[in-house]
Amino acid sequence: MTVLEQGNITIHTENIFPIIKKSLYSDHEIFLRELVSNGVDAIEKLKMVSYAGEMSGEIGEPEIIISIDKEKKTLSISDNGIGMTADEVKKYINQVAFSSAEEFIEKYKGGADQPIIGHFGLGFYSSFIVASQVEIDTLSYKDGAQAVHWTCDGSPSFQLEESDRTTRGTTITLTLQGDEEEYLEEARIKQLVKTYCDFMPVPIKMMKAAEPAAKTEGEEETTAEPKETLEVVNQQKSIWRSSPRDLKDEDYLEFYRYLYPFQEEPLLWVHLKTDYPFDINGILYFPKLKPDVDVTKGNLKLFCNRVFVSEHCEEIIPQFLLPMRGIIDSPDIPLNVSRSALQMDRTVRKIADFIAKKVADRLKALYKEDRSHYVKCWKDLGTFVKFGYLNDEKFKKQIEDIIIYRTTADLAPATEEKPAVQVETEAGDAWEDVTPTDEAATTDEKGDSYTTLEEYLERNKERQENRVFYCTEPASQSTYVELHKAQGLEVLYLDAFIDTHFISYLERDRSEVKFSRVDSELDDTLLDKEKEAEIVDPKTNKTRSEQIKELFENALGKPQVTIRTESLKSETPQGAPPAMVLLPEAMRRLRDMTALLQQETALFPDEHILVVNTAHPMIQNLANLSQSSILQTEGVSPSGELANLMCQHVYDFPLMAQKAFDAESMKSFVDRSNQVLTRLTDSAAK
């Protein structure tokens, strides 16, 4: 074999590879991505020279073949691409590749502790991270080219000689270092191809080790050599690079299942595709949110020209979209910078804005075009949308009109079949179908209705201009909600975990609107003012209400509790509850804020309002009971005592619903319940 050249690579540092190896710690595996990418590039370049008519002969079927020789401890990557001449090897390998190795060292000198997103484009020299010797065997596409063989052991000296290779393309053979022998395992290599090279547009084939031919007893010894087989490992198709027009819903769903097998179907997706002012492609999916979703961890896979770079791209997408899944592919994201530098990068910030805008556009389109799907997905979408509203001014402006709320109003369209309607078109020569579509559908599959804030205000403007009643906890506030509903007052549910923050932002932005939680005060609509003023005791000149108020004040003995008597409107005598506990908005917020600052759970404050419903038959009974006991005896009569017990009980129920019980109150409630029930059964048994 003719030695063409023996010499030193023009690098100025001796043996740089141990340094590179150390600075890449756990990232050794990326060498495979780099070498396969080079093979794919070589195939692409061959296609280009062929299209340009600069090549005689056929391109053939492009392929990359990876093979392992466990005995020789070698791993080789072959492509049938453009190949290199001796001069090209000298230029591109000895000079270009190695000068970028030096550049790497310069860049990371002393800064190796800064995490880099993908160590991308390290190139050919990254093979020395795992190899003790690297060989290149290559034949250029050029007519009459001489095949060459290059060897280097990582020291600055190399050897270049003629090779007897006859097929066009390049084979890189790595002799692995002692501690890198995991790369001799077929399963490990397959896994790396799947991770990094799955969507590269060329088939990547694994040479499967030859199985010795099975021999059955008595059979003659076969002389045939066992055959090696090739297995295609990557799936090649990168659908995010296709035009959305060429893709059906099922294509997007299939891709999602491929990326996240055995997961629930996504709610919807956004296809990103632009090449100006930056190049970005990708598909983002809205998943159904699990209650334990970690909103600080990104789920998107980052690619660069179809090559996988990183599982984490928290720096690239706006924080409120982190729970989204899918992939982003952009060659414009700088990858060999630290994560903090990435966050500050102007292009990256513009890309983040672009993504947020695309997501907003998609949501707006869905709201307009398929409201029923929007409403059905709202539970999950709403979290993203509100999170975005809190975090991103620009996003907020785009989506504020499509935030919807579950409401107590029944907004379901009439159930009877919608009549098909046809009208004559303007031109008069055709009939146009104007049957109502479900564009304005406002109910989900459970039949719950949803509305926007604007729609709510408009619907209720006569009765309660710029006033919104809301409920944060349907279970504990159901009595209050029912009371409002019964009097035709519409209540919005703000019961998602994010709503505590969301409502305070909403109030700041909509300062003309007064938001009242259903248990903070009672609207005049709920009260029957006339009944209250009737005087029932001519001797003391007291109204019935005043008597009841006194009765409760004495029975409870809690001066911090403000007792108010009201006659609550209701259709039936027991339609409204006998008593309710109110905590005014301002007071509740102060309590929540203090609890937040002290990082404690908010306790129910001793100062609150007890509304006693004078219209309720039980309260009437209590008043009668207490009045008769006053008439009958001096001191506390048994019926007076019973009235006292019952007053405390009537107070305890709404308190319990407000989760305002401590251990002591719970004990006294249970004791008292037993007393009351004993009395009841006593009198029934007599």
Ligand X SMILES: Nc1ncnc2c1ncn2[C@@H]1O[C@H](COP(=O)(O)OP(=O)(O)OP(=O)(O)O)[C@@H](O)[C@H]1O
Binding residues for ATP: 34, 38, 79, 84, 170, 339
Q: How many CB atoms lie within 10 A of CB 487?
A: 17
Question: Which residues, 6 or more positions from 405, have their beta carbon under 8 angstroms from its beta carbon?
Answer: 450, 451, 452, 453, 456, 492, 493, 494
Which residue, 170 or 451, has its beta carbon nearer to ligand X? 170
In 395-481, where do the E strands start and end?
Answer: 404-407, 422-424, 431-433, 449-452, 467-471
Which residue, 79 or 490, has its beta carbon nearer to ligand X? 79
Applying the rule CB under 6 A, the residues between 566 and 595 that interact with ligand X are none
Report whether 547 contacts 537 (CB < 8 A): yes
Alpha carbon distance 40, 306 (integer Å)? 11
Which residue, 79 or 519, has its beta carbon nearer to ligand X? 79
Q: How many CB atoms lie within 10 A of CB 598?
A: 9
Which residue, 204 or 375, has its beta carbon nearer to ligand X? 204
Least CB distance to ligand X at residue 309 (A)? 12
Alpha carbon distance 476, 562 (integer Å)? 21
Report whether 12 contacts 102 (CB < 8 A): yes
Our CA dihedral for 238, 297, 280, 45, rounded to 10 degrees, sits at -50
Q: Which amino acid is at 541?
A: N
Alpha carbon distance 124, 31 (integer Å)? 8
* Residue 124 touching ligand X (CB under 6 A): yes
Helix (H, G, I), strand (E, B) or coil at 485: helix
Applying the rule CB under 6 A, the residues between 83 and 112 that interact with ligand X are 84, 92-93, 96-97, 100
Which residue, 82 or 206, has its beta carbon nearer to ligand X? 82
Alpha carbon distance 464, 358 (integer Å)? 37
* Residue 79 touching ligand X (CB under 6 A): yes
370 to 76, 362, 373, 437, 447: CA distances (angstroms):
53, 11, 6, 9, 17
CB under 6 A: which stretch of 20-28, 77-85, 233-241, 654-662 binds ligand X? 77-85
Radius of gyration over every alpha carbon of the chain, rounded to an integer in angstroms: 38
Least CB distance to ligand X at residue 81 (A)? 5
Least CB distance to ligand X at residue 313 (A)? 19
Applying the rule CB under 6 A, the residues between 205 and 264 that interact with ligand X are none
Residue recorded with tokens 């000689």 = 161
> What are the beta bridge partners of residue 152?
134, 158
Helices (H) and strands (E) in the chain, counts: 19, 26
CB under 6 A: which stretch of 18-26, 118-126, 348-356, 546-554 binds ligand X? 118-126
Least CB distance to ligand X at residue 139 (A)? 10
Applying the rule CB under 6 A, the residues between 403 and 422 that interact with ligand X are none
Which residue, 93 or 283, has its beta carbon nearer to ligand X? 93
Phi, psi of 422 (to 5 degrees): -125, 135
Which residue, 34 or 499, has its beta carbon nearer to ligand X? 34
Please state whether beta strands 325-329 and 157-162 pair in parallel, antiparallel, or not at all (unpaired). Answer: unpaired
Given 11, 49, 121, 353, the residue binding ligand X (CB under 6 A): 121
Which residue, 91 or 418, has its beta carbon nearer to ligand X? 91
Least CB distance to ligand X at residue 77 (A)? 8
Alpha carbon distance 391, 388 (integer Å)? 5
Contacts with ligand X by CB under 6 A: the residue count is 18
Least CB distance to ligand X at residue 298 (A)? 25
Which residue, 92 or 661, has its beta carbon nearer to ligand X? 92
Least CB distance to ligand X at residue 179 (A)? 24
Applying the rule CB under 6 A, the residues between 461 and 490 that interact with ligand X are none
Least CB distance to ligand X at residue 316 (A)? 20
Residue positions in the annotated binding site? 34, 38, 79, 84, 170, 339
Which residue, 42 or 204, has its beta carbon nearer to ligand X? 42
Which residue, 170 or 238, has its beta carbon nearer to ligand X? 170
* Residue 62 touching ligand X (CB under 6 A): no
Give me 282's structure tokens. 């990708």
Least CB distance to ligand X at residue 88 (A)? 7
Query: Largest Cα–Cα distance of the chain, in whole Å?
Result: 130
Least CB distance to ligand X at residue 19 (A)? 17
CB under 6 A: which stretch of 81-89, 108-116, 417-425, 464-472 binds ligand X? 81-89
Which residue, 121 or 605, has its beta carbon nearer to ligand X? 121
Least CB distance to ligand X at residue 200 (A)? 13
Which residue is closest to ligand X by CB?
A: 123
Alpha carbon distance 295, 50 (integer Å)? 49
Q: How many CB atoms lie within 10 A of CB 394?
A: 12
Q: Which amino acid is at 66?
A: I
Question: Which residues, 6 or more positions from 458, have their beta carbon under 8 angstroms from its beta carbon?
Answer: none
Residue recorded with tokens 């409120």 = 320
Give me 414's structure tokens. 């009439």
* Residue 450 touching ligand X (CB under 6 A): no
Contact pattern for ligand X over residues 21 through 50, marking x by CB under 6 A: -------------x---xx-xx--------
Question: Helical H runs in 260-327?
Answer: none
Given 17, 64, 67, 81, the residue binding ligand X (CB under 6 A): 81
Alpha carbon distance 578, 298 (integer Å)? 51
Alpha carbon distance 161, 152 (integer Å)? 12
Given 62, 118, 123, 577, the residue binding ligand X (CB under 6 A): 123
The long-range contacts involving 209-213, CB below 8 angstroms and separated by at least 24 positions, are 209/68, 209/70
Given 170, 305, 547, 627, the residue binding ligand X (CB under 6 A): 170
Applying the rule CB under 6 A, the residues between 511 and 570 that interact with ligand X are none
Least CB distance to ligand X at residue 214 (A)? 37
Residues that bind ligand X (CB under 6 A): 34, 38-39, 41-42, 79, 81-82, 84, 92-93, 96-97, 100, 121, 123-124, 170
